[in-house]
Amino acid sequence: MTPPLESITAATIGVRDFAPHLDLYCGELGYAVEAEGVVPAAVADRLWGAGAGDVEVRALAAAGAATGRIHLLKVNDPVAPPVHPHTLDLGLSGVNLYTRDIAASYERMTAAGYVWISPPQGFDVPVGELTVRVVEGYCLGPDGVGVVFVEPAGPRPTAAWLADPDRRHTELTSVVCHVPDFEAELAFWEALGLSAGYDVTFGAPGLETMADLPPGTRLRLAFVAGRDGGTTRIEMVRADRTRADRRSTQRPARGLGHTAWSARTGDLDDALALAAGAGGRVACPPFAAETPLHGASRLAMVETPNGISVELWEPR
């Protein structure tokens, strides 16, 4: 049986001005604008909530990859000023991608004026009875977006690197959330056909430095993905301590920064029924529309048991 969800198609990012984001994602990271235009108020208000109005959008892709995209939504009236969520804050946090040479990425982007929490840090992560060393860095992008660069010991194949092996950076390899009810969130995504192929609890000094975590912090971390759905996984975190709760301001087309995810499905009605049965809330029932982000499709919005906004879409 085909799983209801194939993968996370895109991270939705609210912006005040497209220019600094295009400078970052296109100018520095090699993404391209795949589509642009306006989602009219009649569609935007229905999908993202009353008051969104006409929403200008840009869809960015790395080497044409169908997943791991970035959807930029120009927010007309932000509900809150931009803020970079901390790893210990509840809600959505960073977007992650692979880099072939993190030291070169750090040097280049620092020279261009981008601030990182620290220089890239190496740390060991458990994989079964073994440990694997990764090197990561956390860059602070515009409008409160955090971009985590990962130089993995053994990278998974990605659509962008398969299409263009000489690229420095990939499409998004994961989208990150910190949830208070880990088991409910995991059960929700499993009901929709995804699974956690990796689920560990660990801590490491290099991780603490990279993410500005207090000494001794322990994180439960799971990567949740479909069987054949593309590169982008959900990186689900539960920490042994928390700071602020950012979820109320992470509203697509109303909030700035990382506010939602977009996920493609082959059967929207089935996906919505499963989502509701697994503790999710249908925030917008399905309807047909044509938008620059998804073309002709059926659209709906759900919230996970932990209040993460997810746009589900079925191509027509």
Per residue in 152-191, pLDDT (tens digit) is: 888 888 999 999 999 999 999 999 999 999 999 999 999 9
Give pLDDT, residue 154.
81
Give pLDDT, residue 227.
73
CATH of 91-239, one of 3.10.180.10, 3.40.190.80, 3.40.50.1820, 3.40.50.300: 3.10.180.10
Distances in Å between the Cα of 293 and the Cα atoms of 53, 72, 190, 297 are 16, 10, 26, 10
If DSSP states are collapsed to H, E and C, what string results for 23-80? HHHHHHCCCEEEEEEEECHHHHHHHHCCCCCCEEEEEEECCCCCCCEEEEEECCCCCC
Give pLDDT, residue 228.
66
Q: Give all strands (DSSP E) within 88-226, no chain letters.
A: 91-99, 115-116, 121-127, 130-140, 146-151, 169-178, 195-202, 219-225
Distances in Å between the Cα of 198 and the Cα atoms of 28, 117, 184, 262 are 31, 26, 17, 22
Each residue of 293-307: pLDDT tens digit? 999 999 999 999 999
pTM over 0.85: yes
Domain residue ranges in the chain: 5-81+249-315, 91-239
Give pLDDT, residue 270.
96
The two structure tokens encoding residue 159: 């659509």
Give pLDDT, residue 1.
64
**Whole-number average pLDDT of the chain:** 95
Low-confidence ranges of the chain (pLDDT < 50): none
Are both 5-81+249-315 and 91-239 of the same fold?
yes
Give pLDDT, residue 153.
83
DSSP strand pairing (5-15 vs 257-265): antiparallel
The architecture of the domain spanning 5-81+249-315 is: Roll (3.10)
